[in-house]
Structure formats: C-alpha cells, structure tokens
Amino acid sequence: MTEKVEITVNGEPTTADVEPRLLLAHYLRDVVGLKATNIGCDTTSCGACTVLLDGESVKSCTVLAVQADRQSVTTMEGLSPDSEHLHPVAAAFRAEHGLQCGFCTPGMVMATVGLLSENPKPTEREVREGLEGNLCRCTGYHNIVRAVLAAAGRDPREAEDKPAELAAPGFSTGSSE
C-alpha cells in the first residue's frame, strides 16, 4: 500500500507514491535524488540529515515523508544555486574552515540556518547549545562556532578571546567556573 505525497523541495513541487513508513531523508535522497541530506545514524543522534521543514530545522531521519505532505522542504542544495553564489551560512563555513571531511556539513549548515532564523545574533554559548544535536567527529567544533558567529555578523574571533564555556555542543569542559 502506498500513499501519494506532494512536497515542495527547494521551491520545486514533487509528487510520489510512497510507502507510509518512508523517512523524509530517504524521500529526499532516493525519490528526489538530492544527496546532500546525509544519513548518519537513523536515530536523531548525529544531525547529518537536518533540513528545513516549512522553515524549521528538523532531522529528516525522524520525519515520515507522509508527514511532510503539502509542506515545503529546503535542503543544502536549495540554499545556493551553485558554488559561486553560496548562501551566507555556507560561505561562512567555507571562510572559517567550519568543515573537515564534510559529512556533517550539510546538516550543520541547515541547523545553523534554522538557529539564525530564531536567534539572529547568538552568543557563542547559544551557538553551541543551538547545535548540540548535530555531531562532528572531525573538527572539534571550534571553527564551526566561528562560522556561525561570522554568519550572524559577529566577529568570529569572539570564540577565541575567552575560554569556551562548552567544549563541544552538549558537553561541558568539566570546569566549575
């Protein structure tokens, strides 16, 4: 048994008959053919599959495609028309070296777009807390935080000028200060 879904993806209408259990992440990758939405864990732990659903940052590995019916999804591909015209957040990640292997980058960028839509001028702590559901196994987060601050129009050196309150999103340094 299948259900028909109509989902606007990156401004383009899409329609497909899907199994009711099909995850939005798999719809985007396998049905629509957009590969930037990465699948890292299928349990909401890593955030590599983060997209915007009607403008809100969500992990697409926990949203069924049928739940997104008649809604709008924006993926990393939808932020920038090409590598010459990057979205400001993607440009900040490039400028501040907020990526290493690149696997988490689409999810980090999409989570950042969602964060900045809710809080356009976050502090370093707010950035770290806002991205705590997105994991990166390569960078140590420092340059990611710098990239988010830069995208918010803040001086990314703010992340260097004082000790980090959190070592990584969701993890404390163990310091009592």
Quick one: 111 and 130 in the same domain?
Answer: yes
Residue 82 lies in a domain: no
Quick one: 65 and 105 in the same domain?
Answer: no
Domain boundary among 77, 96, 122: 77
Quick one: 126 and 164 in the same domain?
Answer: yes
pTM: 0.88
Quick one: 31 and 63 in the same domain?
Answer: yes
Q: How many structural domains does the chain have? A: 2
CATH number for the domain harbouring residue 59:
3.10.20.30
CATH number for the domain harbouring residue 152:
1.10.150.120
Mean pLDDT of the chain: 90
pLDDT digits (tens, 9 = 90+) for 22-41: 999 999 999 999 999 999 98
Domain that holds residue 104: 88-170
Residue 12 lies in a domain: yes
Domain boundary among 77, 111, 138: 77
Joined tokens for residue 98? 């907020």
Quick one: 72 and 110 in the same domain?
Answer: no
Joined tokens for residue 142? 């420092």
pLDDT digits (tens, 9 = 90+) for 77-124: 999 878 889 999 999 999 999 998 999 999 999 999 999 999 999 999
Quick one: 64 and 119 in the same domain?
Answer: no
